[in-house]
Structure 1
Amino acid sequence: MKFWVGTYEIDINIASQAALERAVEDRFNDDQGFALATLNMDHLDKLRRDSAFQTAYAAQDLVVADGNPIVWMSKLAGRPVDLMPGSDLVLPLTRLCAAHDVPMALVGSTQDSLERAADVLHRQAPGLQIVACIAPAFGFNPEREEARRILHQVALSGARFCFLALGAPKQERFAALGRELTPHIGFASVGAGLDFLSGSQTRAPRWVRKLALEWLWRLLSSPGRLAGRYARNFAVLPGHVLRSVVRKQPL
């Protein structure tokens, strides 16, 4: 499924969780790195305004659908995809790491949150190796010296997979740099996924998510921070819906 932001094209190239797990397993078996991004409406809005984010997205090897509007528009375009929020991928990818003896690093959030998330992951995936937990300093720039230093630290730890909890667009830009400097490491951008595990943030209840109202839960939980973001998301939604219908892709 393809989305367009002006002349820039984004391709959701992984349609299901089973396909994602196969792709990640293949990369593990071949000792190859990758970058995984989860496309949502906020990303589509940022992509139209941020050329550096466009460059970072072009470096993502695996792109999945994060957000019901993305899933609905994919159906309109005749290319249905599964809903795969980054938060829902944390445990499946962790269990793949444990099963394939792939050491893991956690980067982002706060040191306390990462360490508590690591405890949960160890309990959920026996045999898992978490070899680094790194919380960047406030004001972290994903392309400057600290980013390179962190990537060097991750590589020295022996990690072959790394969860990024930096938020968009920082995590995708950091992953793009990682693909350049540490091509043997896999990076998965999961936003608040680790904070949900650690309890640092509270995710919407499952029944709210089933009703496709997680966005409303988040808005009511933090209106000052999210009102502007969701207003911009809703503003660009009609254009993407129209393009999904007009540019319907034949099977």
Structure 2
Amino acid sequence: MSDTITRLRLGGAPVDLLRYDDAIETISSRFADASGRPLGVASINLDHVHHFGAGAHRPDTVLHDGEDAPVEWLNLVDGAPLAAAARRITHVEWPRLAGSDLIDALLERAEGAHVSIGCLGGTAETHGRLELRLAQEHPALRLAGCWAPDREQLADGDACRAIADDIAAHEVDVLLVCLGKPRQELWIERYGPLTGSHVLLAFGAVVDFLAGRVSRAPHWVADHGMEWAWRLAIEPRRLAHRYLVDGPSAYLAVRRSVAHAAGSLGLERRAAG
């Protein structure tokens, strides 16, 4: 893998361009690395652009970047519009790297590296199913703990710090943070360093996929950029506003990024790891 990662901005959100194998290597190389800031991994889709991109208006939804930021962010392309925009700007085909695409390989790496994982988000019932599946498919992987805070706890700074301290006490190397956007990214930035975890994966519904509570769209649906429609059909009440109200403006912001880049590739280079 190259020593640098190409970064561009889509709809105002930073996006790091990586192949699948390079993403797995970049993330797993940090599993046992306690030498610096934790690595936060985010999936950049239209929902992310809505919350954190150029159109975001809430001052509390800001993710800090740069060497003085509390967390080092790796921002992976997720969603067909983002992948298409990256292709138009760079003239190179880039894969979608959703958390659900990466998680099985990352769990295999964690098992082989003898590092522990934990999960923040979901329900106690979901955690029970998750524990059963991991015991069956990754018997050597240590699940250090699972935490299922409610919304009231997540809105309380003292409660969040107590959760982070408890995660640290359980010595979790890799933490799955499945709280939904924008809560999971903001939680990682504010409290992630307190957990002592080396890698924090902002992977949304991955805990439900792993536990078998929610099924992923068939490959042919995802390959045609229609996974959002599949999920909307399954969970219309929860996802209708995200996809039908917030999504169009985020899509237009991404399209404007492509138009802006037509005359000049605004690509950045960042160190890998």
- Once the two structures are TM-superposed, the CA of residue 56 in structure 1 deviates from its matched residue by 5.9
1:123 aligns with 2:136: yes
Assess, with a 3 A threshold, how the Cα gap between structure 1 residues 74 and 107 changes in structure 2: closer, same or farther: same
Q: Matched residues in 2 for 1:213 and 1:86: separation?
A: 17
- Once the two structures are TM-superposed, the CA of residue 183 in structure 1 deviates from its matched residue by 4.8
Which residue in the other structure is 2:75 paired with?
63
Assess, with a 3 A threshold, how the Cα gap between structure 1 residues 20 and 42 changes in structure 2: closer, same or farther: same
Where does the alignment leave 5 or more consecutive residues of structure 1 unmatched? Answer: none
For residues 3-28 of structure 1, what are the alpha-carbon distances to aligned partners after superposition, in whole Å with 9 as ceiling and x for unaligned?
A: 255xxx43222512212222223323
The one-letter amino acid paired with 1:193 is V
Which residue in the other structure is 2:9 paired with?
3
Which residue in the other structure is 1:21 paired with?
24
Match of residue 169, structure 1, among 182, 188, 198: 182
Q: Which has the higher helix share?
A: 1
Greater shift, 101-110 or 11-20, is seen at: 11-20
Greater shift, 106-115 or 194-203, is seen at: 194-203
Identity %: 24
Residue 140 of structure 1 contacts residue 146 of structure 1 at CA under 8 Å; is this kept in 2?
yes
- Once the two structures are TM-superposed, the CA of residue 110 in structure 1 deviates from its matched residue by 0.3
For residues 95-148 of structure 1, what are the alpha-carbon distances to aligned partners after superposition, in whole Å with 9 as ceiling and x for unaligned?
A: 111111111111101011022112212322231000101111243426611211
Greater shift, 114-123 or 150-159, is seen at: 114-123
Greater shift, 191-200 or 231-240, is seen at: 231-240
Which residue in the other structure is 2:261 paired with?
247
Which residue in the other structure is 1:196 paired with?
209
1:44 aligns with 2:57: no
Which residue in the other structure is 2:171 paired with?
158
| Alignment size in residue pairs | 248
Higher relative contact order (CA 8 A, sep 6+): 2
Residue 37 of structure 1 contacts residue 62 of structure 1 at CA under 8 Å; is this kept in 2?
yes
Which residue in the other structure is 1:237 paired with?
251
Assess, with a 3 A threshold, how the Cα gap between structure 1 residues 180 and 240 changes in structure 2: closer, same or farther: same
Q: Matched residues in 2 for 1:202 and 1:188: separation?
A: 20
Assess, with a 3 A threshold, how the Cα gap between structure 1 residues 154 and 224 changes in structure 2: closer, same or farther: same
Q: Matched residues in 2 for 1:198 and 1:77: separation?
A: 37
Q: CA RMSD in A?
A: 2.3
Q: Matched residues in 2 for 1:121 and 1:26: separation?
A: 21
Q: Matched residues in 2 for 1:119 and 1:203: separation?
A: 19
Match of residue 186, structure 1, among 178, 193, 199: 199
Assess, with a 3 A threshold, how the Cα gap between structure 1 residues 173 and 143 changes in structure 2: closer, same or farther: farther
